[in-house]
Amino acid sequence: MYNCLMGKPFPKTLLVIPVYNHAATLRAVAQNALAEGFPVLVLDDGSTDGGLDTVVDLPIARHRFPSNRGKGAAILAAADLARRSGYDAIVTIDADGQHEPADAHRLLETAAASWPAVVIGARRMENGNVPRSSVFGRDFSNFWVRLECGHALPDSQSGYRLYPVDHLLDGRFLSTGFPFEVEVLVRAAWAGLLLLSVPVPVHYPPAGERVSHFDPFLDNLRLSCLHAWLVIRSLLPWPHPRRSTGEDASPKMMELLHPIRFFRRLSMEHTGAGELAAAVWVGIFFGALPIIPFGIATIVYVSHRLHLNKLAGVAASNVCCAPFVPFVCIEAGHFIRYGRFLFSFDRHVLIDELHLRLWEWLLGALVIGPILGFAGALLTYAVIRSLRANRSPDAQPAGS
């Protein structure tokens, strides 16, 4: 059934509960979802604790994988079942009871106002019971998603989401496990879909009662590999398939006719502490490479593709101006090749063997550049955070 918000129809939505060995909490989540009036599908991802048997008497749809295939595979299978039944969207909610199904109405209202869109239930993680690892994982993921697609999301790891069914089924995804929920957001942004967030409460049980299937080594390794590919893909020049035409580019084109306005926008965009630190790293790393004629163009291109501050990147590259950094890179490259430093600087070494010095410069830059870039990024991050903390509205004037 469709309802309307400000004349816009709600997408016909199925609430999906992916479950893997959460028999103790699954029934309560399903009952609460039914009480909110949602049609419910429980998709069992090969559980071995008989969780699906706990909801067999409820008026819900059920589907089970014979073996564990990963949360991404479960979400995609649910989307396929939803489309076959005529649904436009699915809301996914974890089976562990951390979220309230009642909040799904807020996700649906937000989606209806800007359809099609992906809507994230951003967890309020101020509660002291929230594990520090979850807060760090959220912030770490947010940084990389921001780099890959340009969207500053408050919670890119929340499993409480509303997806357009067409985006899930028409997209092409590398991951079907834990990293899927990050990849699907980045690819939605690349496709031109809106990424919206709604703050929702979250309940974390005491440490001894939590059931988690997160593997710190394997899942972090998979996530790191995924982020590496997404960053590489975001740097490649060919366009992404799009489902939306996106925003009108004419205002940006008009800014090109006003240089002062254009440079003001360049200086003000992507100015978060982490974004500026990343721009400094990019500028120093590429500034250290022996690509002097193309250095600035390369920094601007990479900064643009990774949604970083271009002016900060170009300015940081000046740290690598000759002769100090190139000299250190050549010495490092020479040591890598021969196990000793270069002490002779006559005409033969500098002119006749110029091709060798360039090769050593490149080798050394691949070592010195990241280290020097990290130092510059760390310093930039600390200074920006300190300055902004001092300028905070909560800060009191001296002597007050």
The answer to whether residues 357 and 349 touch, using CB atoms and an 8 Å cutoff, is: yes
Give the per-residue pLDDT at 216.
Answer: 73
Q: Does 320 have pLDDT greater than 80?
A: yes
Q: Rounded to an integer, what distance in angstroms lies between the CA atom of residue 119 and that of residue 346?
A: 64
Residues 6+ positions from 383 with CB-CB distance below 8 Å: none
pLDDT digits (tens, 9 = 90+) for 159-174: 999 999 999 999 889 9
27: left (phi over 0), alpha (psi -120 to 50) or beta: alpha
Bridge-based pairing state of the strands 117-123 and 161-164: antiparallel
Q: How confident is the model at residue 245 (pLDDT cuts 50, 70, 90)?
A: very low
Dig out the tokens for 28 from the structure: 């309560």
Domain parsing of the chain, residue ranges = 4-235, 250-390
pLDDT (average), residues 189-196: 94
Cα-based distances in Å from 390 to 67, 271, 396, 397: 54, 17, 9, 10
Q: How confident is the model at residue 251 (pLDDT cuts 50, 70, 90)?
A: very low
* CATH value of 4-235 in 3.90.550.10, 3.40.50.261, 3.40.50.300, 2.130.10.10: 3.90.550.10
Give the per-residue pLDDT at 1.
Answer: 39
CA dihedral 263, 148, 96, 51 (to 10 degrees): 150
Give the per-residue pLDDT at 84.
Answer: 96
Alpha helices in the chain (DSSP H): 23-35, 71-84, 104-113, 132-149, 165-170, 180-190, 218-235, 250-255, 259-268, 273-288, 295-305, 310-316, 324-338, 347, 354-390
Annotate 38-85 with DSSP letters as a single string: --EEEEE-S-SS-GGGGGTTSSSEEEE-SS---HHHHHHHHHHHHHHT
pLDDT (average), residues 314-335: 91
User: What is the model's pTM?
Assistant: 0.76
Taking alpha carbons only, the member of 299, 286, 292, 302 closest to residue 365 is 286
Residues 6+ positions from 70 with CB-CB distance below 8 Å: 45, 175, 176, 177, 178, 180
Dig out the tokens for 286 from the structure: 């590429």
Q: What is the largest CA-CA distance in the chain?
A: 88
